[in-house]
Structure 1
Amino acid sequence: MIKMTGAKVLTTVMEQAGISVVSGIPGHTISNFALEVGDNPWFKTILPRHEATAAFAADAYFRVSGRLMAAFTHAFPGAGNALTAVANAYADYSSMLFVAGNTASASMGRGGYQELSRQINDDLPQLIRPTVKRLWQPRSAADLAHHAVSALRVATSGRPGPVALCVSQEIWDQEVEVPSAQLAQFAFDARPRPDARSVERAVAMLASAKRPVILAGNGVNLGRARAQLRILVEQLQVPVATTASGKGCFPEDHPLSVGVAGWTGTATANEATRSADLILVLGARLAEATASSCTPNATFSPQCRIIQADICMSGIANTYPVEEALVGDLRAALEDLATAQKGSKNPDLSAWFAHLQEVRQAWEQTALASQAPGSTGAIGTGAVVQALRRSVEGPINLVNDCGKHHKWIVQQFEARADDYIVSSMGGAAMGIGLAGAVGAALARPEARTVAWVGDGGLAMSLSALPTLAEYRLPITLVVIDDAAYGVVRNTQMAQVGRTSYALFDGSGANPDYRLDFKTVAQGCGIPGRTVTDPAELAAAFQWAAQQNGPCVLDIRSEITSTHPSGGGTLRALDDTSRSLVWKN
């Protein structure tokens, strides 16, 4: 038995679990934990200027590496600041260890400083609970030891999700005797395999299909199953589409790739999934954005047969009926499918591929037309996407903030092998672009990290800029700047022909106002460059690649530019929408 304080207990468990990056802002409820972290050279400490930066960074860190990062906060003000980012990770099945310092137990309900106890004594756990996969509220240092191990076990098992420890202030100093057992005796990397009979039936269905397609979701990325997917695809020789959040799990320069399916997808991918007679769905929920709001024959046909593979039964057949379910770890499922199919003769799919090639050629012309350079002060976003792609030769971490600019990356940025494209499609919270890039750069420093943001999302997360400068993180921040919430403006104009709460012009009182991101960046110690002429794009990205630390490219973009339709859609689901998913 070893005697430790509560703070030492938690840092010891974290170290054994391999958590090496910890970010947060301390206050009196969590100061002693912060001191314990700072005293341990194992940990890389990141002090942000806003708690959301820590949590968004932890989210992206997990997405690109599969490893946990820890974020901590002080009392309910700090936790409240972080919770949009925590909930965003939860909605997208990403994960982190979230440690919330709480008011001392003796002060709870008695007017303790920064406590939250109006409805019941200690409302903070109730505030956090809906945003995480599981929350623990230890009442002693002994509890903390047990709860920390449980939290780390839950964080990455099954469908991942953020886990929270809400720890009262006095627990950090409490001493407790703990066994010297290693974490490995309590947490396991179990990978359940799907039922062998289901695998055999799935292989038989694939062998008899005339128009099969694989639809790969973010579960392939989260399950670290990219290599296994590629082996199976090349063995089967079938076309592959991905979801928006799954983008990057299969290289889009591969001849079998058809791009992203769904609302913001390509015409090639949507035609593949719409006309397929069998879809093998891997780690995808077929949620609204992927299923084009269940609109018949937009992305999916009601007559299509579906095989769905997922780590959790709750993710299967939520939207469409499924003929075969493969419940288990995706790496294991893909390995078992490849083993069962090996040696079998692939069906003749030449007519299917010829049809998709015709669609691809037409789509490429549509996409090319959308990549026009634009004009001075109104650069086309499609041209910026292609300039970025040409400027990066090796692997890239691209963290895609939410907004009009987001859809261009999903649809037209070619993701190659070993690229990680972080697109939030569950929570779709603005602010993940810049703050998430902090986590991506820490997780995969060997790759070039790009934060792709709109001016609206960047204005929400400007507090992350000093962090980039202070830690000299090599992040290229690309701002698609149209002086508006562009997607709001364009949607309103398309629907009703007028706008409200969309333009950054002081509600009409200051039409010439423009936030100067170059000057803001320079004030934080980051070199910046404003690009107004599309002819400057190549030189601007070359300049960015030559910077040793962070830099900002403020691209003055065309406000009316929208990505071309690939056949997908997003619309409000009406009362009869549920009936659309069932076969007649």
Structure 2
Amino acid sequence: MSATKRMTVSQALIEFLAHQWTVDAEIRERTIPGVFGIFGHGNVAGIGQALKQLNVDQPELMPYYQARNEQAMVHQSVGFARMHRRRATFASTASVGPGATNMLTGAALATTNRLPALLLPSDTFATRVADPVLQQLEQPWDTGLTVNDAFRPLSRFFDRVQRPEQLYSIALAAMRVLTDPVETGAVTIALPEDVQAEALDVPVEFLQDREWHIRRPVPERAALARAVAAIRKAKKPFIVAGGGVLYSSAENELRELVEATGIPVGTSQAGGGVLVWDHPQNLGGVGATGTIAANRLAAEADVIIGIGTRYSDFTTASRTAFQNPDVVFVNINVASFDAYKHGSRLPVIADAREAIAALSAELEHFGITAEYAERIAREKAAWDGTVDAAFAPSGLERPGQTEIIGAVQSASDPQDVVVQAAGSLPGDLHKLWRVRDPLGYHVEYAFSCMGYEIAGGMGAKRGALADGSDRDIIVMVGDGSYLMLNSELVTAVAEGIKIIVVLIQNHGFASIGHLSETVGSERFGTRYRAYDETARNFQSDRVLPVDLAMNARSYGVDVIEIAPSPSAIADLKAAVATAKASDRTTVIHVESDPLLYSPSGDGWWDVPVPEVSTLTSTQEARERYERARTAQRPLLGQEQDR
């Protein structure tokens, strides 16, 4: 008979997680290096007790970390996972009811971004002996339904431990999904609060070290041959590089491929950093928020080589980015779901690094023409000049966001990481931020979740520290996103973890304000203004007397306020330098003019405008919308005779 250990379900689960290891070639690291938790009646006597017990018996085995909001726990996990290229993440435990549902947004964000996060929401009594328990949702048509069932469509894996004996199969299945490049995302194990405290005889084997090896599938020969044949025929090939390049650590292989062939590269938001910004083949972001250089060449390309991209509507500019009528798509992705996107007839289902290496070998004597090379250099130089001009200080008391980005860029170091997620900043950063490190561009733009920034930045900092890196994490956040979830600044203070937060106040929603204007809604509801009793709206000129700098200061962080003045940009640069020299979290508050826009990248985003309206502004916007839609393609991957 095999040896066993008498434990509760929670104790067994936590000790099991402490012994899971991810192996990626020569890299071996803890898959779950810690647990975030906020305790309530659902988990304080279960997971909470298990963590306390380990903290007493073996404090290094599974560290516990506090958070101030359950959603933020998942954001921190995702930020950490991205910095570790999906090899590791945190577990997050929450109590029954609102504690659990607070994690729903985090679950959706993790799954949308294809980044691992382990969620352990507590659930109502499996025995139903206390029914209904405090905070229990009741549905007369399904008495077995709980709020945790809302995690099902948001998770890549969901199960509920209804009996202690189910723990083994559920825990192992959860780990498989967490460490699978194709399947990974939010992994949810619902834990009824009574089952958490129940005991069972756990096989010692279940508690021993277990390794999960990252799969790196190589491309099938036939699929590779078809892709190579298409590329060899190309006169104007173009690479769209996504996050998959970074998650497979393929940036060196990509650089070698483009240097050998001359093929230019445009990046998705997740792909920022695959090449340093000044590499001759790096044309910057592509798509709705891309650069003119990338978008012009993408529009003319006859072969698009997508590597590790999921082809979001921003990357494809709502299917208007690729205008060559004979364009052919070669889609390289570890997931067939993405490789076949938009009807591609040339999918290559493989790990990005393995596929790029195979392409390089097959394209050994292939290269672009001198004419195309000259065009690439010309477009890149023109865009670089545009950015230089945009970064130049204007001397305005309230600078535009472009100048602010330029100031932060100039004061940062090459290995620093910029973190962002929502508002107008992702679009501006995609075009303007000059990435100098593979992990230096951390923009969550799959879910574009307002409030991710500070928590995600904390997770990114934890990820850097775990790797022994002292690189600075620079969180850039607008006042709208800051107000959504700023409480993790308290977590930074409690643990002495340093991040730099550049808080840009424009008194409203800058990006949606601009979008509202372009679709004919005249910035309605997008300004932070006092309510106008007569007009019954928030369009008055009375700016709210909200002091966000004082709010940040109340959390115990250092705060530097940049007063509106002609020297605001110089003062901002000096403030970033001061923050970098400090070992404490610093919030830098600066006001901007939301009506000063970044240079256009000639991208488009499909936001439908009402067909009929009494507003002249909406009628005019509909006319512009109809004209823009004529450039849309029904399928990106449609293949015509060539």
Give the TM-score normalised by structure 1.
0.94
Q: CA deviation at 1:92?
A: 1.5
- Contact in 2 for aligned 1:521/1:552 (Cα 8 Å): yes
SS in 1 for 2:487: helix
Within-5 A mapping of 1:10-89: 10-17=13-20, 18=30, 19-31=32-44, 32-38=46-52, 39-40=54-55, 41=59, 42-65=61-84, 66=86, 67-89=88-110
Residue 171 of structure 2 is aligned to residue 151 of structure 1: no
CA distance in 2, matches of 1:108, 1:439: 39
Change (3 A) 1:461 1:207: same
SS in 2 for 1:548: coil
| Partner in structure 2 of residue 579 of structure 1 | 634
Work out which of the residue numbers 101, 114, 118 in structure 2 matches 1:97. Answer: 118
Change (3 A) 1:278 1:101: same
- Contact in 2 for aligned 1:138/1:144 (Cα 8 Å): yes
- Contact in 2 for aligned 1:302/1:580 (Cα 8 Å): no
CA distance in 1, matches of 2:184, 2:250: 15
2:476 alignment partner AA:
W
Residue 415 of structure 2 is aligned to residue 407 of structure 1: no
Greater alpha carbon shift after TM alignment, 138-147 vs 357-366: 357-366
Greater alpha carbon shift after TM alignment, 67-76 vs 106-115: 106-115
- Contact in 2 for aligned 1:405/1:480 (Cα 8 Å): no
Deviations 1:185-230 (A, max 9, x none): 6844332222022223323333332212211111222333323323
SS in 1 for 2:442: strand
Q: CA deviation at 1:135?
A: 0.2
CA distance in 1, matches of 2:506, 2:210: 54
Residue 261 of structure 2 is aligned to residue 241 of structure 1: no
Residue 294 of structure 2 is aligned to residue 257 of structure 1: no
CA distance in 2, matches of 1:572, 1:497: 12
Change (3 A) 1:564 1:124: same
CA distance in 1, matches of 2:273, 2:581: 25
CA distance in 2, matches of 1:356, 1:82: 45
| Partner in structure 1 of residue 358 of structure 2 | 336
| Partner in structure 2 of residue 541 of structure 1 | 576
1:94 alignment partner AA:
L
| Partner in structure 1 of residue 243 of structure 2 | 218
Q: CA deviation at 1:476?
A: 0.3
Q: CA deviation at 1:52?
A: 1.1
Change (3 A) 1:272 1:76: same
- Contact in 2 for aligned 1:475/1:551 (Cα 8 Å): yes
Q: CA deviation at 1:168?
A: 0.6
Residue 339 of structure 2 is aligned to residue 327 of structure 1: no
SS in 1 for 2:561: strand
SS in 2 for 1:100: strand
Greater alpha carbon shift after TM alignment, 531-540 vs 417-426: 417-426
Work out which of the residue numbers 538, 551, 555 in structure 2 matches 1:520. Answer: 551
| Partner in structure 1 of residue 473 of structure 2 | 449
SS in 2 for 1:468: helix
CA distance in 2, matches of 1:493, 1:309: 38
CA distance in 1, matches of 2:130, 2:150: 16
2:9 alignment partner AA:
G
CA distance in 2, matches of 1:240, 1:508: 43
SS in 1 for 2:318: helix
Change (3 A) 1:384 1:272: same
| Partner in structure 1 of residue 378 of structure 2 | 358
SS in 1 for 2:519: helix
Identity, % of aligned positions = 23
Q: CA deviation at 1:436?
A: 0.5
CA distance in 2, matches of 1:108, 1:364: 67
Greater alpha carbon shift after TM alignment, 421-430 vs 129-138: 421-430
- Contact in 1 for aligned 2:100/2:148 (Cα 8 Å): no
CA distance in 2, matches of 1:356, 1:410: 19
Deviations 1:427-483 (A, max 9, x none): 111111111011101011212111111100000012212112111211000112101
- Contact in 2 for aligned 1:73/1:100 (Cα 8 Å): yes
Q: CA deviation at 1:269?
A: 0.9
Change (3 A) 1:397 1:13: farther
Work out which of the residue numbers 195, 204, 209 in structure 1 matches 2:220. Answer: 195
Work out which of the residue numbers 393, 396, 402 in structure 1 matches 2:413. Answer: 393
SS in 2 for 1:106: coil
Within-5 A mapping of 1:466-481: 466-481=490-505
CA distance in 1, matches of 2:268, 2:551: 35
2:34 alignment partner AA:
V
| Partner in structure 2 of residue 173 of structure 1 | 197
CA distance in 1, matches of 2:18, 2:111: 23
Greater alpha carbon shift after TM alignment, 403-412 vs 215-224: 215-224
Greater alpha carbon shift after TM alignment, 470-479 vs 415-424: 415-424
SS in 2 for 1:63: helix
| Partner in structure 1 of residue 4 of structure 2 | 2
Q: CA deviation at 1:61?
A: 1.1
Change (3 A) 1:184 1:350: farther
CA distance in 2, matches of 1:132, 1:420: 28
- Structure 2 stretches of 5 or more lacking a match? 21-29, 531-537, 609-625
- Structure 1 stretches of 5 or more lacking a match? none
Q: CA deviation at 1:159?
A: 4.0
Change (3 A) 1:108 1:362: farther
Change (3 A) 1:128 1:580: closer
CA distance in 2, matches of 1:438, 1:7: 27
1:329 alignment partner AA:
D
1:61 alignment partner AA:
F
Q: CA deviation at 1:514?
A: 4.0
- Give the superposed CA RMSD: 2.3
SS in 1 for 2:204: coil
Q: CA deviation at 1:300?
A: 4.5
| Partner in structure 1 of residue 309 of structure 2 | 284
Change (3 A) 1:195 1:354: same
Q: CA deviation at 1:94?
A: 1.3
Q: CA deviation at 1:231?
A: 3.2
1:435 alignment partner AA:
A
Instruction: State the number of aligned residues.
Output: 579
Greater alpha carbon shift after TM alignment, 565-574 vs 62-71: 565-574
Q: CA deviation at 1:348?
A: 4.4
CA distance in 2, matches of 1:126, 1:489: 35
CA distance in 2, matches of 1:239, 1:87: 33
Q: CA deviation at 1:497?
A: 6.8
CA distance in 1, matches of 2:367, 2:357: 20
| Partner in structure 2 of residue 126 of structure 1 | 149
2:462 alignment partner AA:
L
CA distance in 1, matches of 2:582, 2:72: 23
SS in 2 for 1:144: helix
CA distance in 1, matches of 2:601, 2:336: 31
Greater alpha carbon shift after TM alignment, 447-456 vs 504-513: 504-513
Q: CA deviation at 1:69?
A: 1.3
Change (3 A) 1:340 1:144: same
Change (3 A) 1:390 1:369: closer
- Contact in 2 for aligned 1:89/1:162 (Cα 8 Å): yes
Change (3 A) 1:145 1:292: same
CA distance in 1, matches of 2:309, 2:417: 21
Q: CA deviation at 1:62?
A: 0.9
CA distance in 1, matches of 2:12, 2:397: 56
Q: CA deviation at 1:580?
A: 5.7
Greater alpha carbon shift after TM alignment, 108-117 vs 481-490: 108-117
- Contact in 1 for aligned 2:421/2:445 (Cα 8 Å): no
